[in-house]
Amino acid sequence: MSLTREGFDLCYNSRDQRELQSLVELAGGIPSKEEYTKKWLLKNIKNVEACITGWGSIPFDNEVIDEARKLKILFHTAGSIRGLYDKAVKRNIRMVSNAAINAIPVAEFALGVILSGLKGVYHYQERFKKEGRRAWERDISISPGYYGTSVGIISLGNVGRKLLKLLQNFDFNLLVYSNHLSEDEADRLNIKKVNLDELISQSDAVVLCAPNLPKNKHMINAHHFTLMKDNALFINVARGSLVDEAALMNELKKGRITAFLDVTNPEPPQDKHPFYTLPNCILTPHVAGSFGGECYRLGRATLSEVKRYLKGESLKNELSSEEFFYRA
Q: Name the residues annotated as catalytic.
A: 239, 267, 286
Cβ-contact 303, 26 below 8 angstroms? no
Contacts of 114 (CB under 8 A, 6+ apart): 151, 167, 205, 207, 233, 235
Cβ-contact 304, 12 below 8 angstroms? no
Other residues' Cβ atoms within 10 Å of the Cβ of residue 109: 21
Report which secondary-structure segment, H or E, holds 300.
Answer: helix 295-311
Euclidean distance between CA atoms 301 and 51, whole angstroms: 15
Would you call the peptide bond into 285 cis, given omega within 30 degrees of 0 as the criterion? Answer: no
Pairing relationship of beta strands 94-97 and 173-177 according to DSSP bridges: unpaired
Closest to 234 measured CA to CA, from 197, 203, 269: 203
Radius of gyration in angstroms for the set of CA atoms belonging to the chain, rounded to a whole number = 22
Closest to 225 measured CA to CA, from 234, 216, 214: 234
Residue 308's Cβ-count burial label (10 Å; 0-12, 13-18, 19+) is middle
Pairing relationship of beta strands 94-97 and 318-319 according to DSSP bridges: antiparallel
Contacts of 149 (CB under 8 A, 6+ apart): 118, 172, 173, 204, 205
